[in-house]
């Protein structure tokens, strides 16, 4: 009989726990999906109305549990419940005092931060005064954050004083308010502008350390890092990543300070950034952000065409002239002189302009000063195709005077005029 009652009791207890969990989850789901803004408003008008109200409520709850614990120990046979409750309270008070001593917990400031931690939809329905206070609470929280990924104390303090404490130079209320006004995110605003941002900052700092061998390649110049992090042009925002730095642009800034002089490398990095932006834009359109199907197809087609052009530009080779090789003007004169000496060939004005255009596009003066900007299109492109062998041979004199390699010249000719022939064929004519 006892065993049967015990089995029944355990069954009822287990079912009760499962039922409570299901009801609690259902309550949370319904509250968050349908009544979250109303529930947030209720909390802000009651418990989170002021810091004093919140503090009084918290202390009252702790005192209530303390009284329950004492009552259980003294006046009931279930004294072990009371010991458990008192043990939890003592541990909680100990952790709070320890965190306050270490500076990790500040009830007043953290109360303000939590009070304004609301969903985007709730924020957008509030007054400007409320929205400004929300912005200020996030700025204050960022300024009180520690850069835990940095072990060097001097570097850590520098970042705190010259980056975190100056975050309001990077992030303005107008930027903050406008991004949230146009946002359809389901995140909390503190998640978008604090938690995700801080995670991104820590990632960027760690990435910079690895790229620069713990700043040794930057001569441990901390000022460079703070200038990069406070550069507003490197900041991006979207509904998923929140406030974050564009890693591609950060890499470009680091490369500049590492004194990369390779023009093709810089061009490729720049095109990589543009290409990444186009891919993000393509993804947004594919997800159909309120754009009609016809318009979306047209935009995607245009993006694809731009990406093809950019991929071609990645392979754009140039020849940097040395002092011995002469200048661009001298190369133009040499090529024109070669064709003018051909008895059966008469250069037209357009042919001369096209030759000049080719040299300007594919050669760089030693001083980096170009005669003028090159045009994208040739006036008579077929001239180079018809006279392809002579065009290649026209570089012979230039090669004799300088250390320019056959392969380099063959590359730029093949890239500019693929229909002339393969690189090996062009090399045989040089």
- DSSP letters spanning 168-195: HHH--HHHHHHHHHT----SBHHIIIII
Which range is least confidently modeled, 221-230, 300-309, 412-421?
300-309
Q: Which two tokens stand for residue 423?
A: 């690189």
pLDDT of 127 > 50? The answer is yes
**Both 168 and 93 in a single domain?**
no
Contact 102, 133 (CB under 8 A): no
Name residues whose C-beta falls within 8 Å of residue 169's C-beta, 6 or more positions apart in sequence: 230
List Cβ neighbours of 284 (8 Å cut-off, separation of 6 or more).
none
Of residues 39 and 290, the one with the higher pLDDT is: 39
Residue 135 — pLDDT band, cuts 50, 70, 90?
Answer: very high
* H or E segment to which residue 227 belongs: helix 222-229
pLDDT attached to residue 264 = 47
Do 423 and 399 meet the contact criterion of CB atoms below 8 Å apart? no
pLDDT at residue 263 tops 50: no
Q: Count CB-CB contacts under 10 A for residue 185.
A: 18
Per-residue pLDDT, 142 = 92
Position 286 pLDDT exceeds 60? no
Using 50, 70 and 90 to split pLDDT, how confident is the model at 139? very high
Domain-embedded: residue 122: no
Q: How confident is the model at residue 95 (pLDDT cuts 50, 70, 90)?
A: confident
Q: Domain check: are 364 and 306 in the same one? A: no
> How many CA atoms does the CB half-sphere of 145 hold within 13 Å?
24
Q: What's the domain count of the chain?
A: 4
Strands 319-320 and 242-245: unpaired
What is the Cα–Cα distance from 67 to 73, expressed in whole angstroms?
A: 10
In a domain, 120, yes or no: no
Q: Among 100, 116, 148, where does a domain finish?
A: 100
What pLDDT shows up at residue 194?
93
The pLDDT assigned to 339 comes to 87
Based on the fold, state whether residues 90 and 154 are members of the same structural domain: no
The answer to whether residue 223 sits within a structural domain is yes
Q: Report residue 238: phi and psi, to 5°.
A: -145, 170
pLDDT exceeds cutoff 60 at 261: no
- In the chain, pLDDT over 90 holds for what percent of residues? 14
Please indicate, yes or no, if residue 380 is contained in any of the structural domains.
Answer: yes
Domain region containing 34: 2-100
Does the pLDDT value for residue 198 go beyond 90?
A: yes
Which position has the higher pLDDT, 264 or 67?
67
Average pLDDT over residues 214-228: 86
Give mean pLDDT, residues 250-275: 63
Q: What is the pLDDT of residue 316?
A: 66
The reply to whether 193 falls in a domain is: yes
Mean pLDDT: which of 140-154, 293-307, 365-379 is highest? 140-154
What CA–CA distances, in Å, run from 133 to 92, 136, 261, 368? 30, 5, 47, 52
Residue 1 clears pLDDT 60, i.e. is over it = no
**Residue 121 within a domain:** no
Residue 317 gets which letter from DSSP?
Answer: -
Give the mean pLDDT of 18-35. 67
pLDDT band at 278 (very low <50, low <70, confident <90, very high): low
Give the long-range contacts of residues 178-181, CB within 8 A, separation 24 or more. Answer: 179/237, 179/243, 180/120, 180/123, 180/124, 181/124
Verify that 288 and 403 share a domain, yes or no: no
Q: Does residue 253 sit in the same domain as residue 280?
A: no
The per-residue pLDDT for 167 is 93
Last residue of a domain, one of 252, 282, 316: 316
Is residue 13 very low, low, confident or very high in pLDDT (cuts 50, 70, 90)?
low
Backbone phi, psi, residue 373, to 5°: -75, 145
- Strand duo 242-245 + 235-238: pairing: antiparallel
Residues 81 and 58 in one domain: yes
């Amino acid at each position: 009989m006892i065993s049967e009652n015990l089995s029944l009791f355990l069954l009822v207890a287990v079912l009760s726990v499962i039922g409570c969990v299901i009801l609690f989850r259902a309550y949370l789901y319904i509250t968050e999906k349908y009544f979250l803004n109303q529930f947030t408003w209720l909390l802000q008008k009651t418990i989170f109305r002021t810091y004093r109200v919140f503090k009084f409520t918290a202390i009252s709850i702790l005192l209530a549990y303390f009284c329950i614990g004492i009552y259980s120990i003294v006046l009931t046979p279930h004294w072990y419940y009371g010991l458990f409750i008192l043990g939890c309270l003592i541990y909680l008070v100990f952790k709070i005092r320890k965190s306050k001593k270490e500076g990790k917990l500040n009830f007043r400031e953290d109360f303000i931060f939590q009070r304004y931690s609301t969903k985007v939809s709730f924020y957008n329905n509030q007054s400007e005064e409320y929205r400004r206070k929300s912005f200020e609470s996030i700025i204050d929280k960022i300024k009180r954050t520690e850069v835990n990924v940095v072990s060097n104390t001097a570097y850590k303090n520098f970042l705190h004083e010259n980056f975190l404490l100056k975050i309001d130079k990077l992030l303005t209320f107008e930027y903050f308010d406008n991004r949230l006004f146009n946002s359809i995110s389901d995140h909390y605003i503190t998640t978008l502008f604090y938690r995700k941002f801080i995670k991104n900052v820590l990632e960027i700092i760690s990435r910079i350390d690895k790229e620069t061998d713990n700043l040794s390649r930057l001569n441990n110049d901390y000022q460079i890092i703070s200038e990069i992090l406070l550069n507003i042009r490197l900041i991006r925002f979207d509904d998923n990543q929140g406030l974050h730095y564009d890693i591609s642009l950060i890499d470009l800034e680091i490369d500049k300070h590492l004194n990369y002089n390779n023009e093709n490398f810089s061009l490729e990095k720049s095109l990589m950034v543009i290409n990444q932006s186009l891919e993000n834009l393509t993804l947004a359109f594919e997800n159909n952000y309120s754009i009609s199907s016809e318009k979306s197809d047209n935009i995607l087609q245009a993006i694809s065409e731009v990406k093809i052009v950019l991929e071609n530009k990645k392979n754009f080779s140039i020849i940097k002239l040395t002092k011995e090789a002469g200048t661009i003007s001298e190369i133009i004169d040499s090529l024109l002189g070669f064709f003018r000496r051909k008895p059966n060939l008469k250069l037209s004005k357009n042919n001369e302009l096209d030759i000049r255009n080719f040299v300007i596009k594919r050669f760089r003066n030693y001083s980096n000063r170009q005669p003028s900007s090159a045009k994208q299109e040739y006036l008579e492109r077929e001239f180079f195709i018809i006279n392809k062998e002579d065009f290649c041979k026209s570089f012979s004199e230039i090669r004799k005077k300088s250390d320019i390699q056959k392969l380099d010249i063959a590359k730029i000719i093949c890239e500019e005029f693929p229909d002339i022939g393969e690189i090996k064929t062009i090399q045989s004519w040089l």
